[in-house]
Amino acid sequence: MTDSRNTIIISIDVEPDIGSWTQETRGITEGMPRILDVLAKHGVNGTFFFTGREALRHPDMVAKVISTGHEVGCHSMFHETFGSSVYYLPGDSPLLESEINGRLTLATDTVESVCGIRPVTFRAPRLFGSSTLLAMLENLGYIADSSYPAYFDHHSFAPYHPSREDWSKSGDMIILEVPPFYDADVMDEEESGRNRDQWPTLRLNGGDYFTDLTLRMLDKYRDGSGRSVLTVYLHPWEFVEMHTEIVTTEARIAFMPLLTKHTGHYSVNALDDYLRAMSLHHVQFRTLKSVAEEWE
């Protein structure tokens, strides 16, 4: 029997390999089938946030996700930045506020055209969102967003309805903000706070470590009724062995272990171990859409 007080959302950001650094998509062609197999093994339905471009390039994978009972959400059009940067990223050019609505509409329409279902949940690439983005998401009919980098502000990662003036605060918006969870017990922090973020802890430290982290954080932020919702976020490229560097005609880029360590079968096994352990603790796994539809 599952415990309705403890909910976990497994979310996957379907994007180019290593996010902002390449245009390859081995994560989608090779990693996604591995993820889907592990989720099916444990009877878990997840939320897959597709960029519009990758949905267009891989309609067969979009169809596979839908046919196996998972939710398809939107992850921008080209893995672009919609809001404020949480950490420094060379070459990043955030969209102007005047550009956001058009690009967001294009991304939403594109994902809908491929999957035949209009997405109602969203995640901004790298969790670089904004209050402006939230307002436009709500206007487009989105019911939930999972972009707020709670780890950066030491904000609660419990779901909430944001303020229209400041998306980090509670207010009267209809859309539900469901931040990815983080390790709120970390004290020795980096300036950006990224060592508090739960990503990429599963890949770096394995399923047992991530299970312990999840169990500790389930009790950290409960609402008045005792409910706790934790959102895990992963990427398909983590489940394929990634190159440790890329070479172009202009540069040689060597990646930090944060991005490439334990990519491939180690991550597949870590996810398998994690889902098995959490099932033994009787948590319920749900999609972001299903949580938002029932949230009061």
pLDDT tens-place string over residues 159-175: 999 999 999 999 999 99
DSSP-derived secondary structure for 79-109: S---S--SS--TT--PPPHHHHHHHHHHHHH
**Chain-centroid distance, C-alpha 68:** 19
- Residue 1 pLDDT class (50, 70, 90 cuts): low
What average pLDDT is seen over the chain? 95
pTM attached to this predicted model: 0.96
120 and 289 Cβ atoms separated by less than 8 Å: yes
pLDDT tens-place string over residues 31-58: 999 999 999 999 999 999 999 999 999 9
Single-letter amino acid code for the residue at 118: R
pLDDT at 72: 98
Average pLDDT of the segment spanning 223-244:
95
Q: Is the pLDDT of residue 137 over 90?
A: yes
Q: Is the pLDDT of residue 85 over 90?
A: no
- Closest of 214, 211, 159 to residue 185, by C-alpha: 214
pLDDT tens-place string over residues 90-103: 878 899 999 999 99
Map residue 265 onto helix, strand or coil: helix
pLDDT tens-place string over residues 258-279: 999 999 999 999 999 999 999 9
Please report the domains of the chain, with CATH numbers, ordered by start residue.
3-294 (3.20.20.370)
pLDDT tens-place string over residues 205-223: 999 999 999 999 999 999 8
